[in-house]
Amino acid sequence: MQRHNATANFVMIDNLEKLKFVFEDETVFVADRELVESWYGEEGSLSVLRDAEVWEEQIRDRLRDADYVWNFAERVLHLEEFQAASGQ
């Protein structure tokens, strides 16, 4: 699901460069725009995913393929050490 969420955020927010997923167990996955763009092709390729038909073909349909999703996670997402927010 991080694949879908990361891609959707980068597609819709042009100036988003990094996205962190922090889970209750303090696991942190990070996605960088550059790596997401490289997964789908060349820089700027994410904008074509705004088209609903392209989104269905390139994103939604491929979510059924566990190997494809696993490869995305291995190549695009990376673990980062959890750091609790300070000053709270």
Say what the pTM is.
0.80
The domains of the chain are located at: 2-80
Q: How far is CA 18 from the centre of its chain?
A: 9
Residue range 62-86, pLDDT digits in tens: 888 999 989 999 999 999 988 877 6
For 1-88, strand residue ranges (E) read 18-22, 28-32, 77-80
CB 11 within 8 A of CB 47: yes
CA–CA distance from 41 to each of 35, 51, 73 (Å)?
10, 16, 16
Mean pLDDT of the chain: 87
- In this structure, what are the phi and psi dihedrals at residue 4, rounded to the nearest 5 degrees? -60, -50
Q: How far apart are CA 77 and CA 86, in angstroms?
A: 25
Q: Stretch 47-55: mean pLDDT, rounded?
A: 91
